A and B are shown apart, each in its own frame.
Chain A
Amino acid sequence: MSRRRWTDWIQNLCAGLPWPECKRMLGGQPPSRPNPRQRPHQESFWLHIKPVYYHQAVTRLRYTWRLGLLSIYFFVVELLTGLALLAWYTPTPEQAYASMGVILARAPMGDLLHALHYLAAVGLIVSVLLHLIRTFATASYKAPRRFTWLTGVALLLLTLGLAFTGYLLLWDQLAYWAVTIGMALVRETPLLGDWLFGLLAGGNQVGGATLLRFYILHILLLPLAAGILIAVHDYKVAHHGISLPSSLEPVAHSRSQTAIPPNQRRYYLLDVALDEAFFLAWISLALLILALFFIHPRLQSPANPAHTPPEIAAPWYFLWLQGLLKLGNVTLFGIVLPGLLILLLFLLPYLDRNPSRRARDRMLALSLGTLTVAALLLLSLLGLPRFHAQLPPAQAVAQHFLPEEGPGPLDALSWQALPAGDFCTDGQQPDPATPFGQVWNEFARALAQTPGLTHARGCILIQPVQPDLKQLRLYILAEQDGAPAALLQTDYRFRDEEGER
């Protein structure tokens, strides 16, 4: 047995390329003859799906923005963090929310895993959407890359499906009611509605069976389908080559590798691969910084089928659908129109017969595309809670200052900044210089200035009820549109760490 030298180790690290060849490669020199740079791609399972070299025009960041790579990266992050989270998660209505507590508070690095899973999901949706827009803008969907586009649109739908099914698993009020609304929409599907609803929900309403089915979809079926489709999609991209900028490829054509002139080639190994690895290292760093210091997805209170929250917001990627629903008939605007949109997206390469990829020849397609994006943005805006049916004024004020879910102005105050006492607009007032006094002033101003409220009297009552627990009550008595209205809302605040210092 021959003694292994350090260059052998380098050769292993360079996917089988001999060290002298690696040096030539990194120095930007042409391959030696016979070209050894093909071998790793022929012998390695993982590398054979990658082209040996790219046209240098498509390796520039500013052309593809590496959105396909990013999507795969986020998908892999989802797989890894998701697999880790599985160890603590139990998909039953009794245990789901409690197991979220285990993940967030007891599992090692559990909150980081959860934050990463959430962030990478957002990243995945964003990168897949931008990837689609980029591909459309550069007309990369035209024959012979039509099928690649088709698998891409299917992957977009799978991504949204993964997001939607993952949403329910938190089993908090937001998840439960957003999915309940989504499932009500499914039921409106013509002909198949009830059957589809039954298939997905496993009962008459969102419940334990739904949770289990969404769980199976989220952790098994959808990722499996996405994994297979990603392989097909990636293979097709490698097979036809990434489309060049339209100045170099005005009419799309499949490119066999030899068609790239030697002086335009950039080898995948080790050049592009390292570039991509370093790029992803920076993305990972950004993701980690965001997850550690900035983004802490908060859970609402546990799902309660008996109590509908006053405000239900769709996740941002479905806001356009919520906006669309405000326009009228549920079946038309909630099912038929989105269905048509998806169908059009699938068929786009087959409908658009224009062979040219140049922007100046594609004015119609580009304007229609811009219009669609603008319409979706506008619909998303319309889908924002501020355009929902409004709560009655007194309730709106109460909901703002003592929201049922999520942080309100009083939650921004420390535990100690909440003085015990009964504070009323016509009675005892807090010291306006204190943080609580400022919130109080906002409250008094809201009562005086909210249209529709007259002769409003409001109180905020704070009282300690248990060790480390304060009760906050908010009372409003007013004439609302001519009729007397009153409400008393109660919330509790536990002393948090900040309060102890």
Chain B
Amino acid sequence: MSFTRRALLGLLATLGLLLLLGAAIAREPARQARAQRAWQGAAIARGAASFREACTECHGVHGEGLVGPALNADDLLMPEMGQALPPRPRDRGWRGDLPAYLAGVIANGRAGSKMPGWSQRAGGPLTEQQIQDLVAFILNWRDAERPAVRRPASLHQRSAGLGYYLFHGPLGCAECHAFDDAAGVIGPHLSGIIARKGRDQVRADIIDPNAALAPGYASHIMPETFGYALSENQLRSLLDYLERPADAALQVAPITQSEKELALWGKMVADSAGCFGCHTVDGTPSDGPTFLGLYGQTRTLDDGGAVVADDDYLHESIVDPSAQRVAGYPDIMDQDYSYRLSEEDIRAIIAYLKTLR
């Protein structure tokens, strides 16, 4: 081949090389935007899987909150007008940005709460990358539509209504089971289940799903965490919901935030949690201090100090009864209420105590 032809061919390749590179540089911004979205999307998808494995038990399958606080919530994700940070991290004194706040809480847990540290440095199972993926997933709720939490309207429907909420919401029962207006296809159909098996058996099945399997179903598909995630009260509501006749209309309406409603609810919780075994409401002394007139009183502690029985003190006394014990009473109260009651339950009990003046 003559030199000219070789040179022409070679220059042609060089020209092609330069043209292609130029074209690649020209479309680079669009390429980067696409790649960033794909990378972020992959992180969110991985985060969703980790969330399902590690977080739903306490925060609910859609982040509604259960034992732990709601994550799919405006006060965690949406800054108010003129603020850099949403209220929740701000109220806790955080000054960094929201992703760092979320990553920090996931990694290290929150002292004084049931949230453990999930990072490997804190003795947990998650790698740094998995924590970042979880943050990406949680932040993706920012754009989600958050329907008003639907709770039952009146007291006599409250329990079954809460059951409805749990079933369709944070527990994710409806993802697998058919019942009422849920049409899950993986687990057994639940209509008439209480009539057939009795409350006790269904309760046992919820807590330990693998012990007595319905014929035609396999073990280790249903989560085994409900015994931990549910307070006794919530479990009862769930059973109430499952027990109600299919034709009974369930009135579900947005929750009323009134103290009166909350107090009524708190009385029910206190009853089911067994508070009245040791605490009276009529001023009679018992194993524990009476509830009558308790709220707002100044209490003398067994170490000689004094404290006003406000919201914070009562909350502490429920979840950690030994911390500041009133003088004259033995240290016998159960230490596990933080596990048996949800934050919402505790708030309701305190609202109830306020009414006993």
Chain A residues proximal to chain B, CB less than 8 Å:
26-27, 93-94, 97-98, 101, 104-106, 108-109, 111-112, 271, 274-275, 277-278, 281-282, 284-285, 288-289, 292, 301-306, 422, 424, 427, 459, 461, 463, 465-469, 471, 475, 477, 484-488, 490-497
Contact = CB atoms under 8 A, between A and B. Distances in A.
Nearest to B13: A281
A497 B9 CA distance: 39
A101 B43 CA distance: 10
A281 B36 contact: no
B254 interface: no
Contacts of A111: 31, 35
A466 B39 contact: no
Contacts of B127: 93-94, 302-305
B130 to A, nearest CB: 7
A96 B175 CA distance: 36
A282 B129 contact: no
Contact of A97 (B41, B129, B221): B129
Contact of B17 (A288, A459, A477): A288
B15 to A, nearest CB: 9
Contacts of B41: 468, 494-496
A465 B16 CA distance: 47
Interface string B1-35: 00100110110011011001100110010011011
Contacts of A27: 3
A74 B209 CA distance: 59
Given A27-B3, A492-B46, 12 more contacts: A101-B43, A105-B36, A112-B24, A274-B3, A282-B10, A285-B17, A422-B184, A467-B144, A469-B140, A471-B48, A491-B49, A494-B41
A486 B217 contact: yes
A97 B221 CA distance: 32
B125 interface: yes
Name A's interface SS.
mixed
A275 B13 CA distance: 13
A285 B13 contact: yes
B25 A468 contact: no
Contacts of A496: 37-38, 41
21 contacts: A94-B128, A94-B129, A101-B39, A106-B36, A108-B32, A109-B24, A274-B3, A281-B10, A281-B14, A285-B13, A288-B17, A288-B21, A292-B20, A422-B184, A422-B185, A463-B175, A466-B137, A471-B48, A485-B218, A492-B48, A496-B37
Given A94-B128, A98-B132, A101-B39, A284 B52 contact: no
A469 B14 contact: no
Question: Which 3 interchain pairs have the tightest Cβ spacing?
Answer: A278-B10, A494-B41, A486-B218
Contact of B32 (A106, A475, A490): A106
B319 interface: no
A325 B110 CA distance: 48
A477 B219 CA distance: 10
A487 B218 CA distance: 8
A105 B20 contact: no
A497 B6 contact: no
Given A105-B32, A282-B13, A466 B130 contact: no
A454 to B, nearest CB: 14
B42 A494 contact: yes
B17 A465 contact: no
B44 interface: yes
A284 B13 contact: yes
Interface in B60-84: 62
B218 to A, nearest CB: 3
B128 A477 contact: no
Contact of B35 (A104, A275, A285): A104
B25 A105 contact: no
Nearest to B61: A465
B229 to A, nearest CB: 18
Contact of A288 (B20, B137, B217): B20
A285 B16 contact: yes
B194 interface: no
B10 A274 contact: yes
B46 A301 contact: yes
Contacts of B132: 98
Contacts of A463: 175
A459 B185 CA distance: 8
Contacts of A494: 38, 40-42, 44-45
Given A475-B186, A497-B37, A484 B218 contact: yes
A486 B186 CA distance: 10
Contacts of A466: 44, 48, 137, 140-141, 144
A29 to B, nearest CB: 12
